[in-house]
Chains A and B, each alone.
Chain A
Amino acid sequence: MARTFQVGDTFTHVRQCDRLRPVYYAGASGDYNPIHIDPEVGRQAGFNGVILQGLCTLGWAVEAVAVFVGDPGRVRRVKVRFSRPVLPEDTVTFQGRVTAIADGRLTTEVTATNQRGEPVLRGAVVETSLG
């Protein structure tokens, strides 16, 4: 199925961090930093409990673009700054916009905000190949 893209195209991807997602992601990724799995350590760090791994949020930003282009194998580059942790029970809305199409590459900018409207990523850019 041929699909064409244009600069200015937008897309939205919503993900929920369910209560145990940091624990599930710890097992899948091997990131067992106690701040992600031990609520007491999370409280000592100044949170209400555990926080989600930033690299999981990065993965979701990549996923938002992979779903938009229809093929996860086309992702070529991702760059993000982590501005705020995602907490269990948070809903994160990813909004993407195509900013450039050149040299067989599609460049998208992605914002990610929690249900309070606070950004959890800054300056996120994901590039994919077009074919």
Chain B
Amino acid sequence: MALDPKFVGRAYGPFTYEIGREKLREFSLILGGSVPSAGTFGEPPEHVSPLLYSQEAAQAGPYGDVIAFPSFAVVFAIRPFSAAIADPELGVDRVRLVHGEQELEFLGVMRPGDVLTTTGSITELYRKAGMDFLVVTTETRNAKGEPVVRGVWTAVIRPA
């Protein structure tokens, strides 16, 4: 059954997230390929920029502190998308859902201690080639109200 287009415009959030220094380092190192062991994130792979994990190197660099790897944004900006998928009134069949497309726009770097608030809404619901498409657009702002990340999240729900 097709998703009801009347849900276009439905909003989710705000969701607030504070970036923790260790979480940010963990994400950068694990994405970069480190092999964690008990209590450590593992040794940094050679290609991973020290700006992402070494405070000493980062202080000498262009940002003055470690920064988040750009796609760390998915950790918090996904919340409205997840909320839409879990919305019982919308009725998405999660077993048939795949993540189809993703767009992220970064308007500034993200640092430890940043308090970020994400809101989002369903911007498209359509059926194509027998599949349902759910598009959620998100915006994340910092504590000053400045936009930091914008996201467009597309789920594809395959036929039963």
Q: Are B71 and A16 in contact (CB under 8 A)?
A: no
Interface residues of B in 23-49 (CB under 8 A from A): 23, 26-27, 30-33, 35-36, 47, 49
Q: Are B67 and A18 in contact (CB under 8 A)?
A: no
Q: Are A82 and B100 in contact (CB under 8 A)?
A: yes
- Distance in angstroms from A73 CB to nearest chain B CB is 5
Q: Are A78 and B104 in contact (CB under 8 A)?
A: yes
Of the candidates A24, A77, A79, A81, which one forms a contact with B36 in the assembled complex, judged by CB atoms under 8 Å apart? A24
The interface bits of chain A over 7-36 (1 if a CB of B lies within 8 angstroms of the residue's CB, else 0) are: 000000101101001001101111100000
Q: Which residues of chain B are near A82, meaning CB under 8 Å?
A: 98-102
| Bound: A56/B32 CA distance, A | 10
Number of interface residues of A (CB under 8 A): 35
- Distance in angstroms from A26 CB to nearest chain B CB is 10
Q: Are A76 and B106 in contact (CB under 8 A)?
A: yes
Q: Which residues of chain B are near A96, meaning CB under 8 Å?
A: none
Q: Are A59 and B105 in contact (CB under 8 A)?
A: no
Q: Which residues of chain A are near B100, meaning CB under 8 Å?
A: 81-82
| Bound: A62/B74 CA distance, A | 13
Q: Are B67 and A72 in contact (CB under 8 A)?
A: yes
Stretch from A63-71, A102-110, A112-120 that touches the partner:
A63-71
Q: Are B71 and A30 in contact (CB under 8 A)?
A: no
Looking across the interface, which residue of chain B has its beta carbon closest to that of A126? B70
| Bound: A13/B102 CA distance, A | 21
Looking across the interface, which residue of chain B has its beta carbon closest to that of A25? B30
Q: Which residues of chain A are near B75, meaning CB under 8 Å?
A: 29-30
